[in-house]
């Protein structure tokens, strides 16, 4: 979504400097509460309808993700303002791009960072030598250094987005080079080529299914039970169970997305169990601790969903608790509990990511490519594909591509009918199965899609720079023929 300067660059007014980031977050949660007044049950923006690719917010120049409150704030800002990509610029980036003179009147957000500075308490406020940097401190004499003590101080900094500039910096070559490195940029290109909302939605459906299966894998790895509840979704610390309303009761065309968003929130609560990160999961719904834990779970689930380019999903109750809790912190202002909650949210997200890595490792430890192909190939037609088999399919795909590259290195780049026949013979010798068998089992595993299957293409001819001779047609076992066969296509539904 394009943002004109007059709309995006509204002046941010705050009375307390230390509350700058907190107040920006508060404003966003207040906007969520306003939506619930209109009768919405859960609040989320559908990114593909706004031609928007969500993601982990990062500095566009260095590529480093923002952390803690900055990450929370920028994720929320991207969603609510409809920013097309999750990249942000600071003042240094503007200078490097040579666009300082045309920067907007006001930034899109104010971030903060903790820095080390040396303080001389004997100096008056306003004295430029009252606070000095580490480099300046080192340049002082030993006698001068005696007056200073090391302190940690909060520094605020402005952040900008390309949508605030004319043509979204499309004519700035260096900026375009920066953003070309990120997967979100290529996904946005695909999104912009879609002609209908139905096409746009189908582009993101694999991400939604992969996110659900990712959460299922982690929950199973941790032994957390999942039970069905008629009307509510919640986590029970005493029994280590997650209660979820049946998927069929989530209504609307984006029901699965809503379900996954709530699921991510509840699984984030489960990371606080005494056997995991051991957070305080006690207190009634009116307690301060309850609101604090809600923000932790929301911060974690938001980060999880961004890994799949999906929006966070908030219900009215959680929004009200978080908003009320943040208002309390705003009035007190004696400790930065927002930063603490966001850091704990990051810990929860990282814990979930590590458990998924553990799930993958356990599959890899027992992986045998020939046995995995055989198991998937002869799995009864109506039998469900387990998550372990699904990840095995991803490993099959990786190994098959490695063998494909090796074969090309040995046999040149002429893609003829003989080439594919020779490749089948090669694969038969290596793993006991031909190219068509591998394509069949990989396609079968897509019913339980995992993240690894989103970005890997099988036998990708274009990536190998093969010169295809036009007088030959690839045999019926090719990937393209499988894709064009409606009976073998996987149909996503929400």
What integer pLDDT is reported at residue 462 of this predicted model? 61
SS3 110: strand
Exposed/middle/buried for 72, CB within 10 Å: 0-12, 13-18, 19+?
buried
Q: How far apart are the first and last CA of the chain?
A: 25
Tokens at 303, concatenated: 């980060």
Tokens at 172, concatenated: 């700035």
SS3 96: helix
Contacts of 324 (CB under 8 A, 6+ apart): 291
How far is residue 166's CA from residue 2's CA, in Å, rounded to a whole number? 10
Contacts of 252 (CB under 8 A, 6+ apart): 258
SS3 367: coil
Note the helical H segments in 180-254.
183-193, 197-221
- Asked if residues 311 and 44 have their Cβ atoms less than 8 Å apart, the reply is yes
Exposed/middle/buried for 139, CB within 10 Å: 0-12, 13-18, 19+?
exposed
- Asked if residues 207 and 254 have their Cβ atoms less than 8 Å apart, the reply is no
150: which strand partners? 118
How far is residue 377's CA from residue 75's CA, in Å, rounded to a whole number? 42
How far is residue 431's CA from residue 347's CA, in Å, rounded to a whole number? 41
What integer pLDDT is reported at residue 489 of this predicted model? 33
Half-sphere exposure of 423 (CA within 13 A, CB side): 30
Exposed/middle/buried for 367, CB within 10 Å: 0-12, 13-18, 19+?
middle
- Asked if residues 161 and 89 have their Cβ atoms less than 8 Å apart, the reply is yes
What integer pLDDT is reported at residue 393 of this predicted model? 96
Which of 21, 36, 165 has its CA nearest to residue 88? Answer: 165
What integer pLDDT is reported at residue 6 of this predicted model? 36
Which of 222, 332, 215 has its CA nearest to residue 262? Answer: 215
Please, what is the Cα angle at 92 between 87 and 93, to 5 degrees?
35
What are the φ/ψ torsions at residue 12 (nearest 5 degrees)? -95, 120
Number of Cβ within 10 Å of residue 424's Cβ equals: 17
What integer pLDDT is reported at residue 285 of this predicted model? 56
pLDDT in tens, 262-316: 999 999 999 999 999 999 887 665 566 788 899 999 999 999 999 999 999 888 7
Tokens at 222, concatenated: 């941790």
DSSP string, 125-174: TT-TTTEE-HHHHHHS-HHHHTT-EEEEEEEEEEEB-GGGSGGGGTT-HH
How far is residue 26's CA from residue 40's CA, in Å, rounded to a whole number? 19
Which of 378, 358, 370 has its CA nearest to residue 434? Answer: 370
What does the H/E/C string look like for 406-451?
Answer: HHHHHHCCEECHHHHHHHHHHHHHHHCCCHHHHHHHHHHHHHHCCH
DSSP string, 334-364: SS-HHHHHHHHHHHHHHHHHHHHHHHHHHHH
Half-sphere exposure of 454 (CA within 13 A, CB side): 19
Spell out the per-residue pLDDT of the chain, length 494, in tens. Answer: 333 333 334 433 333 455 788 889 989 888 888 877 776 666 688 999 999 999 999 999 999 999 999 999 999 999 999 999 999 999 999 999 999 999 999 999 999 998 899 999 999 999 999 999 999 999 999 999 999 999 988 889 999 999 999 999 999 999 999 999 999 999 999 999 999 999 999 999 999 999 999 999 999 999 999 999 999 999 999 999 999 999 999 888 899 999 999 999 999 999 999 999 999 887 665 566 788 899 999 999 999 999 999 999 888 788 888 888 888 877 766 678 888 999 999 999 999 999 999 999 999 999 999 999 999 999 998 899 999 999 999 999 999 999 999 998 888 765 677 888 999 999 999 999 999 999 999 999 999 999 999 877 888 766 554 443 333 333 343 334 333 443 333 322 22
Model pTM score: 0.84
What integer pLDDT is reported at residue 165 of this predicted model? 96
Tokens at 39, concatenated: 């009768």
pLDDT in tens, 218-245: 999 999 999 999 999 999 999 999 999 9
What integer pLDDT is reported at residue 4 of this predicted model? 39
What integer pLDDT is reported at residue 66 of this predicted model? 96
What integer pLDDT is reported at residue 182 of this predicted model? 97
SS3 464: helix
* Unique residue bearing structure tokens 């987005």: 161
Percent helix, strand and coil across the chain, each to the nearest 5: 55, 10, 35
């Amino acid at each position: 979504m394009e943002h004109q300067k007059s709309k995006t660059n509204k002046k941010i007014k705050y009375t307390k400097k230390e509350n700058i980031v907190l107040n920006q977050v508060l404003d966003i949660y207040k906007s969520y509460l306003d939506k619930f007044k209109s009768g919405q049950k859960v609040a989320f923006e559908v990114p593909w309808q706004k031609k928007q690719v969500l993601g982990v917010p990062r500095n566009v120049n260095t590529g480093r993700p923002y952390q803690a409150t900055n990450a929370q704030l920028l994720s929320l800002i991207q969603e609510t303002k409809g920013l097309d990509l999750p990249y942000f610029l600071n003042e240094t980036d503007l200078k490097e791009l040579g666009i300082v003179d045309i920067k907007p009147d006001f930034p899109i957000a104010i971030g903060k960072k903790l820095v080390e500075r040396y303080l001389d308490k004997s100096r008056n406020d306003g004295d430029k030598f009252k606070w000095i940097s580490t480099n300046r401190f080192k340049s002082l004499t030993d006698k001068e250094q005696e007056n200073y003590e090391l302190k940690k101080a909060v520094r605020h900094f402005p952040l900008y987005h390309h949508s605030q500039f004319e043509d979204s910096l499309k004519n700035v070559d260096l900026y375009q080079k920066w953003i070309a490195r990120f997967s979100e940029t290529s996904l946005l290109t695909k999104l912009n080529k879609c002609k209908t909302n139905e096409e746009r939605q189908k582009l993101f459906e694999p991400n939604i299914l992969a996110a659900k299966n990712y959460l299922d894998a982690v929950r199973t790895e941790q032994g957390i039970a999942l039970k069905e509840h008629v009307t509510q979704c919640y986590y029970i610390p005493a029994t280590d169970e997650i209660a979820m309303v049946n998927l069929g009761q989530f209504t609307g065309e984006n029901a699965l997305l809503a379900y996954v968003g709530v699921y991510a929130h509840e699984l984030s609560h489960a990371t606080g169990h005494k056997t995991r990160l051991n957070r305080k999961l006690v207190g009634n719904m009116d307690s301060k601790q309850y609101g604090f834990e809600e923000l932790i779970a929301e911060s974690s689930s938001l980060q999880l969903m961004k890994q799949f380019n999906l929006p966070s999903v908030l219900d009215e109750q959680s929004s009200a608790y978080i908003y009320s809790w943040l208002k309390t912190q705003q009035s007190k202002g004696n400790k930065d509990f927002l930063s603490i909650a966001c850091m704990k949210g990051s810990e929860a997200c990282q814990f979930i990511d590590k458990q998924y890595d553990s799930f993958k490792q356990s599959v890899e430890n027992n992986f045998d490519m020939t046995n995995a192909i055989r198991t998937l190939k002869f799995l009864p037609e109506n039998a469900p594909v387990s998550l372990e088999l699904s990840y095995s399919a991803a490993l099959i795909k990786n190994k098959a591509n490695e063998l494909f590259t090796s074969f090309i290195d040995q046999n040149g780049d002429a893609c003829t009918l003989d080439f594919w026949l020779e490749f089948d013979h090669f694969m038969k010798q290596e793993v006991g199965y031909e190219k068509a068998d591998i394509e069949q089992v990989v396609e079968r595993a897509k019913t339980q899609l995992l993240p690894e299957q989103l970005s890997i293409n099988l036998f990708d001819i274009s990536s190998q720079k093969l010169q295809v001779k036009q007088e030959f047609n690839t045999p019926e076992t090719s990937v393209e023929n499988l894709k064009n066969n409606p009976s073998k296509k996987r149909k996503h539904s929400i």
